């Protein structure tokens, strides 16, 4: 159990924490990278080595800004491409082109499958709202606002710091702590009085580096040990399990 009300604010990641869209992101990354790696292997007369799930996703991509994820994974294969430009067409052999192909695939999957919300996480958010604990979403995704709206969650959070905000503010992405620290500063809460909730190794590292009072990790892919090594204070498979009996009921009080 966690005494959530001992803190002034809780900063939630989005994909994999509040919504099940992490599965769609993972599938999109695999398709985009496998398409590129297969084409590259054929062109160079090399053996095709696919993007591995969940290992490559968890270590190199999950929780990072999109183009950082491309660079980090390709570097793990000793592949170094030009960055290109954010408006590169999907699939162009640049960091941005591969990232944009992934984003296009994610959009297709999202439109076809919709957004699933994790009920245990929603129960925690409602519990926090009833007790006056401030709630924010801190996500690397540039689609964060659209996903929150589609999931019907937007009104539950007073602050959203996503990939678009980070770009405007010049904030480096996770595993750097800057987006979490910025969110705490906007809320007027010291990091030591706030909680970070993440499912990605990079996000957990960011929470730990930012000096937050508690870092809670959600293990959705069997990475409990890796999340603990990254700095999580506790690792759970369902955020609802952190609530005491009776704390999960009812809608939040109106703000």
The CATH number that domain 4-20+116-242 falls under is: 3.40.50.1000
Rounded to two decimals, the pTM is 0.78
62 or 40, greater pLDDT: 40
Tell me what pLDDT residue 254 has: 40
Q: How far is C-alpha 111 from the geometric centre of its chain's CA atoms?
A: 19
Residues catalogued as catalytic: 13, 15
Residues with Cβ within 8 Å of residue 107, at least 6 apart in sequence? 143
* pLDDT over threshold 90, residue 113: no
Q: Determine the average pLDDT of the residues in 144-153.
A: 90
Ordered by start, the domain boundaries in the chain are: 4-20+116-242, 23-113
């Amino acid at each position: 159990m966690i005494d959530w009300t001992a803190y002034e604010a809780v900063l939630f990641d989005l994909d994999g924490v509040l919504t099940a869209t992490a599965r769609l992101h993972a599938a999109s990354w695999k398709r985009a990278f496998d398409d590129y790696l297969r084409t590259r292997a054929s062109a160079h007369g090399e053996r095709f080595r696919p993007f591995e799930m969940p290992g490559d996703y968890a270590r190199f991509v999950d929780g990072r800004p999109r183009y950082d994820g491309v660079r980090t994974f390709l570097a793990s294969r000793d592949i170094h491409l030009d960055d290109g430009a954010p408006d590169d067409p999907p699939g162009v052999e640049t960091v941005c082109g591969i990232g944009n192909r992934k984003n296009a695939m994610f959009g297709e999957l999202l439109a076809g499958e919709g957004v699933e919300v994790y009920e245990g996480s929603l129960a925690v958010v409602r519990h926090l709202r009833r007790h006056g604990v401030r709630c924010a979403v801190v996500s690397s995704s540039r689609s964060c606002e659209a996903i929150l709206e589609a999931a019907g969650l937007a009104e539950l959070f007073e602050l959203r710091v996503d990939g678009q905000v980070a770009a405007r503010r010049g904030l480096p992405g996770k595993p750097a702590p800057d987006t979490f620290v910025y969110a705490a500063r906007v809320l007027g809460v010291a990091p030591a009085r706030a909680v970070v909730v993440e499912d990605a190794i990079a996000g957990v590292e960011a929470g730990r580096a930012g000096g937050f009072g508690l870092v809670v990790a959600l293990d959705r892919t069997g990475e409990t040990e890796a999340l603990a090594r990254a700095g999580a204070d506790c690792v759970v498979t369902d955020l609802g399990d952190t609530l005491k009996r009776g704390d999960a009921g009812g809608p939040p009080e109106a703000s």
